[in-house]
């Protein structure tokens, strides 16, 4: 049940952000689906590892692939889908916990939680870049063999 709520709210959250970022009406649904997909992959990756960083990385790989495919299908820049789909992954919760430690002067916990927040953001960016590099290689190979 928790998972269902998370998936539904990931969808609505991504939809809301797409609206705020003025995404075109006919791209709203695929953009919001990206958010659901990103969180779905994150939950599935939980079967393999409980650690958040690789789960974020895998999820980011999947959402980048999705965004690039959607960009081809809908003929618009991949950023449109990439930005909307990565919304549920933004480490807001981890950041909040980090600052809670800072305000209560628990500096040890602050630095490890802060490191965790940075690692999560790095995992998202790293996943995007890896998938883009993979797609770039495939594109070059396709051009070569065509």
Partner 1 sequence: MCPHPDQQAVDYANEYLSNALSIGEQMLRSGAEVSRVEDSIRRVCLAYGAERVDVFTITSSIVVTISGKAFGTVTQTRRISGLQFDLRRLERLNELSRLIAERLPPMATVESALERIRSTPSHSFPAQLAIWALVSASFTLFFGGSWRDAIASAIIGVLLKCVDAGLKWLELNSFLAALLCSGFGGLLSFLAVQWGLGDSVEKINIGNIMLLIPGIMLTNSLRDLFNGDTISGLLRFLEAVLLSMTIAAGFVAASVIGG
Task: From 38, 69, 82, select the one nearest 56 (Cα to Cα).
Answer: 38
Selected binder of partner 1 within 53, 69, 76, 109 (CB under 8 A): 76
CB of 145 to partner 1, least distance (A): 25
Q: Which residues from 113-142 bind partner 1, rule CB under 8 A?
A: 121-122, 124-126, 128-129
Number of residues located near partner 1, criterion CB under 8 A: 45
CB of 116 to partner 1, least distance (A): 14
Selected binder of partner 1 within 51, 96, 107, 138 (CB under 8 A): 96
> Binding to partner 1 by residue 63, rule CB under 8 A?
no
> Binding to partner 1 by residue 20, rule CB under 8 A?
yes
CB of 56 to partner 1, least distance (A): 11
Joined together, the tokens standing for residue 102 give: 């800072």
Minimum CB distance to partner 1 smaller for 50 or for 145: 50
Task: From 122, 134, 127, select the one nearest 60 (Cα to Cα).
Answer: 127
| Candidates 45-53, 71-79, 134-142; binding stretch for partner 1 (CB under 8 A) | 71-79
């Amino acid at each position: 049940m928790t998972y269902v709520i998370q998936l539904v709210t990931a969808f609505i959250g991504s939809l809301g952000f797409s609206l705020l970022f003025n995404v075109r009406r006919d791209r709203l649904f695929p953009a919001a689906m990206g958010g659901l997909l990103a969180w779905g992959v994150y939950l599935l990756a939980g079967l393999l590892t409980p650690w958040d960083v690789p789960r974020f990385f895998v999820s980011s790989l999947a959402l980048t692939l999705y965004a690039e495919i959607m960009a081809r299908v809908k003929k618009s820049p991949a950023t449109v889908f990439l930005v909307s789909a990565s919304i549920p992954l933004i480490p807001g919760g981890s950041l909040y916990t980090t600052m809670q430690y800072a305000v209560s002067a628990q500096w040890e916990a602050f630095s490890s939680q802060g490191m965790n927040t940075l690692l999560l953001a790095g995992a998202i960016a790293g996943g995007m870049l890896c998938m883009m590099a993979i797609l770039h290689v495939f594109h070059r190979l396709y051009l070569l063999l065509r």
